Structure 1
Amino acid sequence: MARLTIETFILGPDETNCYLVSMGGRAVVVDVGLEPDRLIERIDALGLTLEGVYLTHFHMDHIGGVKELLEAHPAPVHASGEDEFLKEFSFEAGGCREFARFIDFPYTPVAPGRRTALGQPLLVLDTPGHTPGSLSYFFPAAGCVFVGDLLFMIAVGRTDLPRGSSPELLGSIRSRIFTLPDDTRVYSGHGPMTTVRHEKANNPHFIF
């Protein structure tokens, strides 16, 4: 049976992790930072058909390259409508108002629940806290979850940007991520991959 292949591209000045998830000549992308040239070149080189783009949240460093990617490989974009308000905030205030030319792309609001991607089951998890619309994407058959800026190796996401909430963020991690199997690989928006087991045992925000 074919297995998901996950490749990481570190994009833009904030070194945002963009994930190319592929299987059998088809692909989806999770988050697209600025300057996605290497991602586009890789999709072209592999001859992949892009079937969708999944966004964890609407901060500029995670969506700034979506429009450029779609120009090369048109595909539906999935994101939470709860983060739409960030388009009205200035960049200094944590929004992306000044970058309308980068973020003027259509998307389909996606609700939490069971979906299918690349012929595999996909569970969309509502994980607010970093932003109110933050989503995580869990592929149970592959044992991996993409969490954006919710959780990092021995760290958690910031909550000082518009409508961020530390209690919500910690609650999302406990109720949505830490309830996944311990060997689930956690792919974050920045930094290295970790696992649910590692974060339960070592993340200082959850060790008392």
Structure 2
Amino acid sequence: MARLTIETFILGPDETNCYLVSMGGRAVVVDVGLEPGRLIERIKALGLALEGVYLTHFHLDHIGGVKELLEAHPTQVFASAEDEFLRDLSFEAGGNREFAPYIDFPYAALEPGRRTVLGQPMLVLDTPGHTPGGLSYFFPAAGCVFVGDVLFMIAVGRTDLPRGDSSALLSSIRSRIFTLPDDTRVYSGHGPMTTVRHEKANNPHFIF
């Protein structure tokens, strides 16, 4: 049986991790930062059929390249409707509308639960805290989870942005991420990959 291939693209001035997940000529993307040209060209070069974009949350550094990607590779975008307010840049950029063209794209509201993606089971996990609508995506057969800005190597996401909630963030990590198998690979929105085991043992925000 074919296995998922995961490629990381570090995009935009905030060095956002965006992930191209593929198998058997089909692909999905998790988050699309600004300046997505390399990601777009990679999909084209591999001849991949793009079957969806899954967003972990609606901060600009994770959605700023979606519209450009869709122009090159039309597909459906999935995200939580709980983060819709963040597309009004008055919340995120002090009312600066220069970013508005980057975030004007349609999406389908996604609820927590089980889906089939690339022929594989995928669990959509509700992980609020960094934003109210934060979602994580767990592929049990591949042993990996994409968490956006909820959890990083030896760190957690910031909660000082609009409607961030530190209690909700820590609860999300404890109840959704740390309950996954210990060897689950954790792909974060910034920085290196880690594992559930490593964060349980070393993350200073938690004591086990």
Q: Same fold (TM over 0.5)?
A: yes
Equivalents in 2 of 1:170, 1:106: separation in Å? 31
Residues 133-177 of structure 1: per-residue CA shift (max 9 Å, x gap): 000000000000000000000000000001000000000000000
Aligned-pair CA distance for 1:97: 5.0
Q: Which residue of 1 aligns with 2:142?
A: 142
Equivalents in 2 of 1:96, 1:137: separation in Å? 31
Aligned residue type for 1:92: A
For structure 2, the 5+ residue unaligned runs are: none
Contact 1:60–1:96, Cα closer than 8 Å, also in 2: no
Aligned residue type for 1:4: L
Which residues of 2 match residues 46-195 of structure 1 at below 5 A?
A: 46-90=46-90, 91-93=92-94, 97-195=97-195
Distance 1:97 1:86, change over 3 A: farther
Aligned residue type for 1:108: A
Aligned residue type for 2:137: Y
When the two structures are aligned, how many residues end up with a matched partner? 207
The answer to whether residue 57 in structure 2 is matched with residue 21 in structure 1 is: no
Which residues of 2 match residues 4-43 of structure 1 at below 5 A?
A: 4-43=4-43
Residues 67-123 of structure 1: per-residue CA shift (max 9 Å, x gap): 000000000000000000112243335x88542211111000000000010000000
Question: The residue matched to 1:206 in structure 2 has which SS?
Answer: coil
Q: Which runs of 4+ in 1 moved over 3 A?
A: 95-98
Distance 1:96 1:8, change over 3 A: farther
Equivalents in 2 of 1:202, 1:92: separation in Å? 34
Contact 2:89–2:100, Cα closer than 8 Å, also in 1: no
Aligned residue type for 1:84: E
Contact 1:86–1:97, Cα closer than 8 Å, also in 2: no
Equivalents in 2 of 1:197, 1:28: separation in Å? 26
Identity among equivalent pairs (%): 86
Contact 1:27–1:52, Cα closer than 8 Å, also in 2: yes
Equivalents in 2 of 1:139, 1:13: separation in Å? 29
Contact 2:129–2:166, Cα closer than 8 Å, also in 1: yes
Equivalents in 1 of 2:138, 2:206: separation in Å? 21
Aligned residue type for 1:187: Y
For structure 1, the 5+ residue unaligned runs are: none
Contact 1:87–1:96, Cα closer than 8 Å, also in 2: no
Contact 2:16–2:61, Cα closer than 8 Å, also in 1: yes
CA RMSD of aligned residues (A): 1.2
